[in-house]
Amino acid sequence: MLSRRSLLLAPMLATATGAYGVGIEPLLHTNVTRYLVRPASWPAGLKLKVAVIADVHACQPWMDIERIGQIVQLTNALGADLIVLLGDYVAGHNKITAIVPDHDWADALGNLRAPLGVYAILGNHDWWADKSAQSLRRGPIAARLALEKAGIPVLENDNIRLTKDGKDFWVAGLAEQEALLGYSSGRYVKRGIDDLEATLAAVPQDAPVVLLVHEPDIFPRVPERVSVTLAGHTHGGQVRLLGNALFAPSQLSLTYCYGHFFEGGRHLIVSGGLGCSWWPVRFGMPPEIVLVEIQGQVS
């Protein structure tokens, strides 16, 4: 039987936990989570550090320009060879005091610096927020234009060859898997503009490649020749109790909700991201920047 003291403390604890999840963890903590992966397809002697920023969801007061600037400084200080942005730059919920205009968050991210450059893909909220693109059923969307104006190339079903220590590798960016909203046969549907085959078509079969995707749902279709797939979107569940996510946008996103997955010789790393969607709360899943070190296998 619960004591009277327990009954009095329970609502106080619930209130304090809720206040932490809404007012502290989303705003103050930014972890750096590190992974080391050794894909079979990665060249011996090529060591690559990739910093990953996912799901910024710029808005006031939760992710204002000052906060984004702090994240940029922290990311730059990691000494990564390459920085990648995995989409969802715009607000993902309406529990905000003001939007952050596209050109403001893009200009802030434009201060990211890495020897091999900064590359971006787009997310579902970036597409959903662009009413003109939804009406026309095509891009380029406002988020892409803002990123490119800030000097950050955007990869949509496209790839680029980079070189480090005299060795080539490719970065490929998949277009959004849930870009367009609408109805089909009376059902609400989300239609993607992603084309995995086209994204990898120009990459030589035996070349090392890092694949950037927003949703991890595509992972079962990723061929083994892809060295590492980097994803965001899930926010790690955003609220985790006893290490378990309470919610994810889809069953596959729940399967690949957070962390490092290794299946059939393929590596997937899913970032917990930085911002919030649905509701401005994170609990047990602090905002994070991910640093991935990719090395060849030890013989």
Supply 116's token pair: 């091999």
* pLDDT value for 241: 86
Cα–Cα distance list, 150 to 139, 145, 181 (Å): 18, 9, 28
Q: How many residues does the chain have?
A: 299
Q: What is the pLDDT of residue 28?
A: 60
Q: Map tokens 């899943």 to a residue.
A: 285
pLDDT for the residue 243: 78
Nearest 5°: the CA angle 244, 217, 136 is: 125
User: 177-208: b or e for each residue (b if 16 or more CB lie within 10 Å)?
Assistant: bbbbeeeeeeeeebebbbebeebbeebeeebb
Q: What is the pLDDT of residue 24?
A: 45
Q: Would you say 196 and 218 are in contact if contact means Cβ atoms under 8 Å apart?
A: yes
**Rounded-to-integer distance, Cα 148 and Cα 48, Å:** 25
- List, in order of start, the domains of the chain with CATH numbers: 4-294 (3.60.21.10)
Q: How far does the chain reach from its first CA to its final CA, in angstroms?
A: 61
278, 238 contact by CB (below 8 A): yes
Which residues, given as ranges, of the chain have pLDDT below 70? 1-28, 299
Name the phi and psi angles at 211, rounded to 5.
-100, 130
b/e sequence 112-124, b meaning 16+ C-beta within 10 Å: bebebbbbbbbbb
What does the longest C-alpha to C-alpha distance in the chain come to? 70
Alpha helices by DSSP H, 172-240: 196-201
CA distance 283 to 48: 32
Q: If you ran DSSP here, which 8-state letter would residue 203 be given?
A: S
Please choose, from the candidates 251, 273, 233, the residue with its C-alpha nearest in 3D space to the C-alpha of residue 123. 233
Quick check: 132 and 166 in contact, CB under 8 A? no
Nearest-angstrom CA–CA distance, 39 and 288: 24
The answer to whether 237 and 243 have CB atoms below 8 angstroms apart is no
